[in-house]
Amino acid sequence: MRSGRLWIAALGFLILGAFFVYQTRGRDVVDGHLCAEEYARARSAVDSMLIDARAPVRNRGRGELANPIPTCGELRRLGKVR
């Protein structure tokens, strides 16, 4: 009886952890798309440099993880901007 509860608790933590990993990866893809749109509108190297330094504009809810928001330049270096 007790080991069954431990297995259920462990499974719950595993599912919760997988959800947070998936949510972060999904967020990077969406943010990468937003950055790609900004890079497409850039007209010069200076514009691209300014976009590299800022985080993508996105309405983030209260439920968002407290992770630091990557900048567009970081997302581009990670290969999330296409």
Helix, strand or coil for residue 19? helix
pLDDT at 46: 93
Can you give the pTM of this predicted structure? Answer: 0.55
Q: What is the mean pLDDT of residues 27-51?
A: 84
Q: For residue 71, give the nearest of 27, 41, 32, 39 by alpha carbon.
A: 32
- pLDDT of 44 above 90: yes
Q: What does the pLDDT look like over 46-78, one tens digit per residue?
A: 999 998 998 876 655 555 555 667 888 888 888
Rounded to whole angstroms, the Cα distance separating 10 from 18 reads 12
Query: Model confidence at 17, in pLDDT bands (50, 70, 90)?
Result: confident
